């Protein structure tokens, strides 16, 4: 398999192909941030929870124009700025069509853990819990395995859950899963990956959908 | 309360003023505690902060270290809950029900209520004695407008404290801000000062 | 006693003299609306709950620039417009220094009834309840007597209360009362009015403060 | 939901459209039901309204008359509670506690909770299937700005309905509204139309 960067781009590109305008999309930190550059549809508008609808690629970095990962971004023609209170009103209130998030772990009902690692000094949750309860559709993008080679798609998460809500889709460098009735359904193998490889590298139970490799 | 999303939109001049004052045992409500040795991170190193209420302390690794050493209390809230609790505090709402956090570790000890068949968490309003905020321009009455994503928590904090001090890039004459575009009307603002310490592409500098 | 219009102007003028800048003042419908023209202090800013801080006298009537009584008003230099949700956030949140309200009845603890008359088709409350719980100081301006000659300052209101909160001051064409510890305290006789007249025309019990006529 | 404070900021063209449609048993959430025979007052005369939720029906005496005849259900809320309940509905808040109305007839049957030693009333969020609102300008994406006190309930209603239709004075190109001054970002708005019926000094006219 290719380098980490290549894997991330592969996943981001696949996630981008799920987006159809008109829609409002919130991108999380990490792989999700990479999704934007593969989106050409002008009817797709990116929302960032720190207060901007209409995020674009950065042209000239402005330290006061950043996304939720505090990276410099640009502003689309037709954009709007607003406060954090209004921004999370949009999120909780169901006004975001799609959230693309990263995950540390996914359980076999499609619930994710992406905000805390027991025993580590990571004391932050940010907007992850809000996006999970509020976005109409949630897509998770993540590498299939941890750095240590273990499956991130597990029977049960060992890290604290971000929400009781199951996500709608999981995209890794090996496969794409839909979550139907709190069950993972394999719907697609990524190029060059075999069903056997996915089985071997996935701890979570999953159903094989009618997919094409 | 101290505005800003990290250093973006943080009142850096006012924070520096705090670092020079003999104040201790502060409770800080802010999304983050700055970065290591920057912004509120300086106050942390000075051990002036007893408790912090925020959503993402990860951006300053020294917060976790201070927490492990037992030097600081932390209350972690989902970012939307942090913003909404301040909005409630500023708008005379005693508490409210949100779905955010239901069933997670952050819901431990919090009341759950079913509304229209779905579980919601009760969250209390947040208010502060003082809010230090950052805006772009003020008129001499105290009406404020903001600049891009430096707006973030500042407008909501302006509503939720007994004393609100706004640090701005520029103070203009009354009438120079359009009545339709004012984001924070002057009734929320008590004091104004012009920023001396600002965030640039090269980092935090004196201007 | 003079005409109704004169009585109202007298009360409004007296109420105006209570205001000191800097302060934010909300004026109710009726007599309170008349207060503004007696205020010259530029540090007094008028708030109207339908979404404007910085109400002034109307210069040229604009049908889309009105106060809470739907009367045309003007906009001060340095004004700001906002939504009803934000406006009532200001009111409930304690950001209004003084509310001047009308009343149908006042009880002897200083609580008022000003939104409903049993048996009449008046089905409206507007912002009265919000102003009573939120404004730091509430001044009531009202004629001392009903059209039928009965005291509006009663032992107990027969109309439904607007709030359990007592107002701070009551100004009529006969006298000024402060409310201290839920007790009416007569602090001032209006010009030409005797203590005996106030006693005779006031059903509510009141304490006589150290006033000058 | 129908925007406006009386006829000020009411979507008069959309309301007229409703009067021509064969719709009945409507529940209307609006501060008032227009005036006698104007705005929503026309729908009332047509007996198309089954229930109204608002704060000040007094501005149209025919509402009280219809109520006495048993033709309409009314739910009266303090104006701040009306606005806040819609704000909650739009922002994913299930319900909230307010001091407004405690101890009054409008609190009958409502839960009371003590928060920090003071009594508060529980109020539920309000949402609608459709919001008809009035703004000043829209860009073609649906970003909205408002005009003076015609703003009132319109921005909050824009957040709290499944389908939001905005009637505006003018539709401008994308980029003509400043990103800092947009009041209602386009994600809240589903449909736009240009007003044909407007409020002027001479009353309601076709333009």
Contacts of B159 in chain C (CB under 8 A): 89-90, 93, 95
Q: What pLDDT shows up at residue A123?
A: 84
**Interatomic CA distance for residues B149 and B153, integer angstroms:** 10
β pairing state of C183-189 and C207-212: parallel
Cβ–Cβ < 8 Å for B185, C80? yes
In A83-155, alpha helices (H): 84-92, 128-134
Between chains, do C81 and D57 touch, taking CB under 8 Å as contact?
no
**Interatomic CA distance for residues C83 and D152, integer angstroms:** 5
**In this predicted complex, what is the ipTM?**
0.96
Reported confidence tier of residue A196, pLDDT bands at 50, 70, 90? very high
Q: What pLDDT shows up at residue A120?
A: 81
> How much of chain A, in percent, has pLDDT values that exceed 70?
97
**The CATH homologous superfamily of the domain defined by C4-201:** Glutaconate Coenzyme A-transferase (3.40.1080.10)
Chain D: give the shortest CA distance to residue B118, in Å. 9
A32 Cβ neighbours under 8 A, 6+ residues apart = A12, A15, A100, A101, A102, A141
Cβ–Cβ < 8 Å for A50, B154? no
Classify residue C69 by its DSSP letter: T
Report the candidate in A126, A164, A116 with the shortest Cα–Cα distance to residue A26.
Answer: A126
A27-66 pLDDT tens trace: 999 999 999 999 999 999 999 999 999 999 998 999 999 9
Between chains, do A80 and D185 touch, taking CB under 8 Å as contact?
yes
Query: Which residue out of A56, A88, A116, A123 would a mutagenesis test of the B interface target, given it has the greatest number of B Cβ atoms within 10 Å?
Result: A123
Chains near C, with 3+ CB pairs < 8 A? Answer: B, D
Q: CB under 8 Å, gap of 24 or more: what pairs does C117-124 form?
A: C117/C159, C118/C158, C118/C159, C118/C160, C121/D61, C121/D64, C121/D65, C121/D67, C121/D68, C122/D58, C122/D64, C123/D57, C123/D58, C123/D63, C123/D64, C123/D67, C123/D74, C123/D76, C124/D55, C124/D56, C124/D57, C124/D58, C124/D59, C124/D76
**What are the boundaries of each domain within chain D?**
6-10+12-76, 127-207
Chain A: give the shortest CA distance to residue B69, in Å. 12
Report the candidate in C213, C173, C171, C169 with the shortest Cα–Cα distance to residue C195.
Answer: C213
Query: Which residue out of D149, D158, D160 would a mutagenesis test of the C interface target, given it has the greatest number of C Cβ atoms within 10 Å?
Result: D149
Query: Which residue out of D84, D85, D88, D95 would a mutagenesis test of the B interface target, given it has the greatest number of B Cβ atoms within 10 Å?
Result: D95
C49 catalytically annotated: yes
Chains near A, with 3+ CB pairs < 8 A? Answer: B, D
Average pLDDT over residues A80-109: 98
Chains near B, with 3+ CB pairs < 8 A? Answer: A, C, D
Q: Which residue of D has its CA nearest to B182?
A: D181
Match 């705005």 to its residue by tokens: D39
**Cα angle D57, D59, D63; round to 5:** 45
* Mean pLDDT of the residues in chain A: 95
Q: What pLDDT shows up at residue A1?
A: 47
A137 Cβ neighbours under 8 A, 6+ residues apart = A97, A98, A99, A168, A169
Which residue numbers in chain D have pLDDT < 50? Answer: none
Nearest-CB residue to D93 (from B92, B97, B113): B97
Chain A: give the shortest CA distance to residue B172, in Å. 21
| pLDDT of A210 above 90 | no
Strand, coil or helix: C115: coil
Nearest-CB residue to A70 (from B6, B55, B57): B6
**Interatomic CA distance for residues D204 and D84, integer angstroms:** 29
Contacts of D99 in chain B (CB under 8 A): 92, 94
Contact call for C and B: 3+ CB–CB distances under 8 Å: yes
CA atoms within 13 A on the CB side of C9: 6
Strand, coil or helix: D99: coil
Which residue of the set A49, A60, A108, A182 is catalytic? A49
Match 């800080």 to its residue by tokens: B28
Cβ–Cβ < 8 Å for B23, B17? no
Report the candidate in B119, B130, B182 with the shortest Cα–Cα distance to residue B155.
Answer: B182
Q: Which residue of C has its CA nearest to D9?
A: C64
Classify residue A159 by its DSSP letter: S
| pLDDT of A17 above 90 | yes
Contacts of D92 in chain A (CB under 8 A): 89, 91-94, 133-134
Q: What pLDDT shows up at residue A4?
A: 84
Match 């701040």 to its residue by tokens: D80
Between chains, do D185 and A82 touch, taking CB under 8 Å as contact?
yes
Cβ–Cβ < 8 Å for A195, A208? yes
Contact call for B and D: 3+ CB–CB distances under 8 Å: yes
Query: HEC profile for chain B?
Result: CECCECCECCCHHHHHHHHHCCCCCEEEECCCCCECCECHHHHHHCCCEEEEEECEHHHCHHHHHHHHCCCCEEEECCHHHHHHHHHHHHCCEEEEEECCCCCCHHHCCCCEEEECCEEEEEEECCCEEEEEEEEEEEECCCCEECCHHHCCCHHHHCCCEEEEEEEEEEEECCCCCCCCCCCECHHHCCEEEECCEEEECCEEEEC
Contact call for B and A: 3+ CB–CB distances under 8 Å: yes
Paired residues of A72 in beta bridges: A66
Reported confidence tier of residue A5, pLDDT bands at 50, 70, 90? confident
**What are the boundaries of each domain within chain C?**
4-201
Contacts of C79 in chain B (CB under 8 A): 179
Between chains, do A91 and B81 touch, taking CB under 8 Å as contact?
no
Contacts of B179 in chain C (CB under 8 A): 52, 54, 75, 78-81
Which residue numbers in chain B have pLDDT < 50? Answer: none
Contact call for D and A: 3+ CB–CB distances under 8 Å: yes
Q: What pLDDT shows up at residue C1?
A: 47
Between chains, do D116 and B94 touch, taking CB under 8 Å as contact?
yes
User: Which run of H or of E encompasses D115?
Assistant: strand D112-115
Which residue numbers in chain C have pLDDT < 50? Answer: 1
Chain C, residues 140-179, CB within 8 A of chain D, namely 160-164
Strand, coil or helix: C89: helix
Nearest-CB residue to D9 (from C64, C125, C163): C64
D31-77 pLDDT tens trace: 999 999 999 999 999 999 999 999 999 989 999 999 999 999 999 99
Taking the CB of residue C72, how many other CB atoms lie within 10 A of it? 17
């Amino acid at each position: 398999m290719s380098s980490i960067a290549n894997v991330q781009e592969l996943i981001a590109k696949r996630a981008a192909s799920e987006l159809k305008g008109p829609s409002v999309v919130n991108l999380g930190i990490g792989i999700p941030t990479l999704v934007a550059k593969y989106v050409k549809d002008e009817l797709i508008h990116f929302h960032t929870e720190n207060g901007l609808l209409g995020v674009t690629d950065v042209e000239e970095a402005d330290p006061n124009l950043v996304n939720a990962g505090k990276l410099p971004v640009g502003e689309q023609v037709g954009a709007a700025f607003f406060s954090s209170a209004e921004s999370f009103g949009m999120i909780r209130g169901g006004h975001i069509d799609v959230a693309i998030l990263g995950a540390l772990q996914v359980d076999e009902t499609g619930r994710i853990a992406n905000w805390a690692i027991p025993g580590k000094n990571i004391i932050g949750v940010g907007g992850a819990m809000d996006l999970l309860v509020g976005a109409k559709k949630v897509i998770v993008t993540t590498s299939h395995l941890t750095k240590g080679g273990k499956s991130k798609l597990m029977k049960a998460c060992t890290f604290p859950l971000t929400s009781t809500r199951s996500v709608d889709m999981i995209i890794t460098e090996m496969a794409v899963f839909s979550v139907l009735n709190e069950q993972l359904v394999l719907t697609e193998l990524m190029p060059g990956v075999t069903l056997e490889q996915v089985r071997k590298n996935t701890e979570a139970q999953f159903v094989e959908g009618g997919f094409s490799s | 309360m101290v505005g800003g999303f990290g250093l973006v939109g943080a009142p850096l001049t006012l924070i520096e003023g705090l670092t020079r004052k003999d104040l201790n045992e502060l409770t800080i409500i802010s999304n983050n505690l700055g970065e290591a040795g920057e912004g509120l991170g300086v106050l942390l190193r000075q051990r002036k902060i007893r408790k912090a209420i925020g959503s993402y302390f990860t951006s300053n690794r020294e917060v976790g270290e201070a927490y492990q050493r037992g030097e600081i209390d932390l209350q972690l809230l989902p970012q939307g809950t942090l913003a909404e609790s301040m909005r409630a505090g500023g708008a005379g709402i005693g508490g409210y029900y949100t779905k955010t956090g239901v069933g997670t570790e952050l819901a431990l000890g919090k009341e759950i209520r079913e509304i229209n068949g779905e579980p919601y968490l009760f969250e209390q309003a947040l208010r502060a004695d003082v809010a230090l905020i950052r805006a772009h321009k003020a008129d001499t009455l105290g009406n404020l407008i903001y600049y891009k994503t430096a707006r973030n928590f500042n407008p909501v904090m302006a509503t939720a404290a007994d004393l609100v001090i706004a640090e701005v890039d520029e103070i203009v004459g009354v009438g120079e801000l359009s009545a339709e575009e004012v984001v924070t009307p002057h009734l929320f603002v008590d004091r104004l000062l012009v920023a001396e310490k600002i965030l640039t592409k090269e980092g935090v500098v004196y201007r």
